[in-house]
């Protein structure tokens, strides 16, 4: 019998006194020992399913129709006490943010012990032995010393392992993993996912794996359910959904994700974005129709029926046969021909941070060691590496937010190493930065027009009307409507905010743009829009960019050259294609191997590195 069955599951939210279905008529089942992947962009309702299992719906949300059966019992209608007994024992959860999943004021040992005590694991001694066994099972060596540590002393990956160990402690029948690797580095993601798969196989656990990464889902899931605005778009065996997607949405998602192998292909850009709660009400037919490339008149008439398109493979589309015809656009040729004299040369750049402990002790940490490279006009250089590899520190030094400890930076032939006012003004004419988090990078009290024309304000040029005109011109250049000029950042979506963020830097007409993780945390469709925007802007305006990212596929799509950083050093650099096709440094190889391959049937064999525990312990001491 299936472990988890959703039958016509409908979750509604009350919006201005009206009930709007957030999840509508969802049908799926997870057999014992199988992994179901829930895939979709943010807002698709993926996490809502995990919350429905735990019955931890936000206020105003409720299951209004259908049922969710766990092991023959109705999770929605069972009494609170019964559910509480099930949760954490038969149904376990792995959260997205490992650090917030653990209590910061208790040691790892105390938290595991508390959990085991609840599961009636006998006395303290037995529980401690069991805790050590559990940590061993998630490949955390030195378990005994780990038990006395606090969560902040561990790396994100180690915290996530502790949480996985706790989740599997009770030999649960069902595990709900909500984006368990999104907050982690790619090399650690691979190991965490494999760990879940390993324990799942050993224990015969059913898993609901929530992710936005279609490639990752194709690797580890047996079945995949693609959600769009709370509606099932496609459901079927992972391989079939991935290799022969029947719903246009699945196909578009796939095509908007940059490829990791083969020839560089263009990115499909889905227009607009997923309808929100209030927009859903106004759409009569298929919710995807406004963005669908294959839309016909029939699509807008009525909601599409869910039809069979293969063995166990269903899709909610009235003409799935046309889906395969959707093709990625021909990529805009990357033109790195403008290489002449370098625009910016970086020579032996280093940064050492000094931390004081008490009066006399001090420790030094070399965040960046001897980084040298040259950036030419119109060239996009990608810097990749894990968190803590010094990527962001390089960016901050290049735009003058941080003073290098050693080394020299020259822009268009002039040395900009000193911190005089003249140098800063000179640097400002050439270099601008786009910050990672638009939430923090946009002043919430300024209107969009005032944000994007800050460069004019700084220079003291232009009247109010001139600035507004400039703002509107910039907005249309970055693909936003001029009416947005009078909005506040809080009234924009994540992707729109990031565009405003880019527009502000562009207003100063820089010749070099430094972009720090500007597409991380965005949905693939928004990411594709932004990447294509950057390429278009380069064609139209001409600028060079230093693009810092942990996402290798993005760098492969966007950048002409790539620098691989590991522990503050550049371990490999060269033309993107050369580095990706034939990596020479072992670290580059392990980084590349950690990315789930494009072809789901290809073996995914991330190399295990011992660097991670060593790093984390070093940080903890």
Partner 1 sequence: MMRRWPAWLRSGRVLIGLTVVSAILFCAIFAPVLAPHDPNEQNLISTFVPPIWAKGGDVAYLLGTDSLGRDVLSRLIYGARVAMLVAVFASLGAMAIGAVLAYIAGYFGGRTDAVIGRAVDVWMSFPPVVLSLILMVGLGVGLRNVVLAIILVDWTRFCRVMRSEVLVVARKDYVAAARLLGFSHWRTIVREIVPASLPLLITLISLEMGIAVIVEAILSFVGMSVSAETPAWGQMIADARQYIYDSPWGLIIPILAIFLAVFGFNILGDGLRRTLDVRLTETQRA
Chain residues binding partner 1 by CB under 8 A are: 399-401, 425, 428, 431-433, 435-437, 440-445, 454-455, 457-459, 504-505, 508
**Is the CB of residue 229 less than 8 Å from the CB of residue 300?**
no
Q: Name which of 457 and 598 has its Cβ closer to partner 1.
A: 457
**Is the CB of residue 130 less than 8 Å from the CB of residue 591?**
no
Torsion from C-alpha of 238, 240, 245, 246, nearest 10 degrees: -120
Q: Name which of 42 and 110 has its Cβ closer to partner 1.
A: 42
In 257-311, the DSSP E strands lie at 307-310
CB atoms closer than 10 angstroms to residue 310: 14
Q: Name which of 77 and 353 has its Cβ closer to partner 1.
A: 353
Q: What's the closest the beta carbon of residue 48 comes to partner 1, in angstroms?
A: 16
Q: What's the closest the beta carbon of residue 359 comes to partner 1, in angstroms?
A: 14
Start-to-end CA distance of the chain, whole Å, equals 49
**Is the CB of residue 157 less than 8 Å from the CB of residue 182?**
no
Would you list the DSSP string of 570-595? EEEEEEHHHHHHS--SHHHHHHHHHS
Distance CA 385, CA 360 (A): 34
**Is the CB of residue 509 less than 8 Å from the CB of residue 537?**
no
Q: What's the closest the beta carbon of residue 405 comes to partner 1, in angstroms?
A: 17
Q: How far is CA 427 from the centre of its chain?
A: 32
Q: What's the closest the beta carbon of residue 62 comes to partner 1, in angstroms?
A: 19
Q: What's the closest the beta carbon of residue 253 comes to partner 1, in angstroms?
A: 27
**Is the CB of residue 323 less than 8 Å from the CB of residue 234?**
no
Q: What's the closest the beta carbon of residue 414 comes to partner 1, in angstroms?
A: 17
Q: What's the closest the beta carbon of residue 433 comes to partner 1, in angstroms?
A: 6
Q: Name which of 382 and 510 has its Cβ closer to partner 1.
A: 510
Q: What's the closest the beta carbon of residue 501 comes to partner 1, in angstroms?
A: 8
Q: How far is CA 243 from the centre of its chain?
A: 23
Q: Name which of 89 and 541 has its Cβ closer to partner 1.
A: 541
Q: Name which of 126 and 353 has its Cβ closer to partner 1.
A: 353
Say which residues have a Cβ less than 8 Å from residue 602's Cβ, sequence separation at least 6.
none
Q: Name which of 331 and 400 has its Cβ closer to partner 1.
A: 400
Side-chain-side CA neighbours of residue 117 (13 Å): 9
Q: What's the closest the beta carbon of residue 428 comes to partner 1, in angstroms?
A: 5
Q: Name which of 123 and 440 has its Cβ closer to partner 1.
A: 440
- For 76, the 3-state DSSP assignment is coil
Torsion angles phi and psi, residue 279, rounded to 5: -80, -30
Q: Name which of 349 and 431 has its Cβ closer to partner 1.
A: 431
Instruction: Identify the residue whose tokens are 């395969």.
Output: 324
């Amino acid at each position: 019998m299936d472990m988890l069955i959703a039958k016509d599951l409908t979750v509604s939210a009350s919006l201005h006194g009206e009930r709007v279905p957030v999840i509508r008529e969802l049908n799926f089942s997870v057999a014992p020992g199988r992994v179901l992947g829930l895939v979709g962009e943010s807002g698709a309702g993926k996490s809502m399913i995990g919350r429905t299992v735990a019955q931890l719906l936000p206020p105003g949300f409720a299951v209004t129709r259908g049922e969710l059966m766990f092991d023959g019992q109705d999770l929605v209608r069972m009494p609170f006490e019964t559910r509480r007994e099930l949760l954490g024992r038969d149904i376990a959860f792995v959260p997205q943010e490992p650090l917030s999943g653990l209590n910061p004021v208790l040691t790892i040992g105390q938290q595991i012990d508390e959990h085991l005590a609840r599961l009636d694991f006998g006395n303290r001694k037995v529980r401690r032995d069991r805790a050590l066994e559990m940590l061993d099972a998630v490949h955390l060596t030195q378990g005994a010393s780990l038990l006395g540590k606090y969560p902040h002393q561990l790396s994100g990956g180690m915290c996530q392992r502790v949480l996985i160990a706790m989740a599997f402690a009770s030999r649960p029948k069902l595990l709900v993993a909500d984006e368990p690797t999104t907050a982690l580095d790619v090399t650690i993601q691979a190991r965490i996912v494999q760990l879940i798969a390993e324990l799942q196989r050993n224990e015969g656990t059913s898993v609901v794996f929530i992710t936005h990464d279609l490639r990752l889902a194709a690797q580890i899931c047996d079945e995949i359910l693609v959600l769009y605005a709370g509606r099932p778009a496609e459901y079927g065996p992972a391989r079939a959904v991935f290799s022969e997607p029947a719903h246009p949405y699945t196909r578009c998602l796939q095509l908007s994700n940059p490829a990791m192998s083969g020839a560089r292909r263009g990115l499909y850009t889905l227009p607009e974005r997923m309808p929100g709660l209030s927009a859903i009400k106004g759409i009569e037919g298929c919710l995807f129709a406004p963005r669908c490339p294959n839309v016909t008149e029939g699509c807008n008439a009525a909601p599409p029926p869910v039809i069979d398109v293969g063995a166990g493979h269903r899709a909610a589309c009235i003409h799935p046969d046309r889906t395969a015809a959707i093709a990625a656009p021909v990529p805009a040729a990357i033109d790195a021909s403008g290489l002449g004299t370098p625009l910016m040369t970086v020579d032996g750049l280093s940064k050492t941070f000094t931390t004081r402990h008490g009066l006399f002790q001090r420790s030094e940490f070399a965040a960046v060691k001897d980084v040298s490279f040259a950036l030419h006009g119109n060239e996009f250089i990608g810097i990749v590496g894990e968190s803590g590899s010094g990527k962001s520190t390089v960016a901050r030094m290049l735009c003058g937010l941080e003073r290098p400890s050693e080394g020299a930076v020259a822009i268009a032939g002039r040395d900009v190493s000193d911190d005089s006012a003249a140098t800063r003004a000179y640097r400002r004419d050439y270099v601008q930065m786009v910050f990672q988090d638009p939430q923090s990078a946009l002043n919430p009290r300024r209107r969009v027009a005032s944000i994007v024309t800050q460069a004019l304000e700084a220079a003291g040029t232009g009247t109010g009307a001139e600035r507004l005109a400039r703002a509107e011109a910039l907005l249309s250049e970055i693909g936003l409507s001029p009416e947005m000029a009078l909005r506040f950042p809080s009234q924009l979506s994540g992707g729109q905010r990031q565009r405003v963020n880019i527009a502000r830097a562009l207003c100063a007409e820089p010749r070099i743009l430094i972009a720090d993780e500007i597409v991380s945390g965005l949905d693939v469709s928004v990411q594709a829009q932004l990447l294509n925007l950057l390429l278009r802007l380069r064609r139209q305006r001409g600028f060079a960019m230093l693009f810092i990212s942990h996402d290798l596929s993005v760098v492969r799509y966007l950048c002409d050259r790539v620098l691989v950083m590991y522990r503050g050093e550049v371990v490999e650099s060269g033309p993107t294609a050369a580095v990706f096709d034939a990596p020479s440094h072992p670290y580059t190889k392990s980084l590349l191997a950690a990315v789930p391959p494009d072809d789901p049937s290809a073996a995914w064999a991330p190399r295990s590195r011992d660097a991670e525990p060593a790093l984390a312990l070093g940080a903890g001491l």
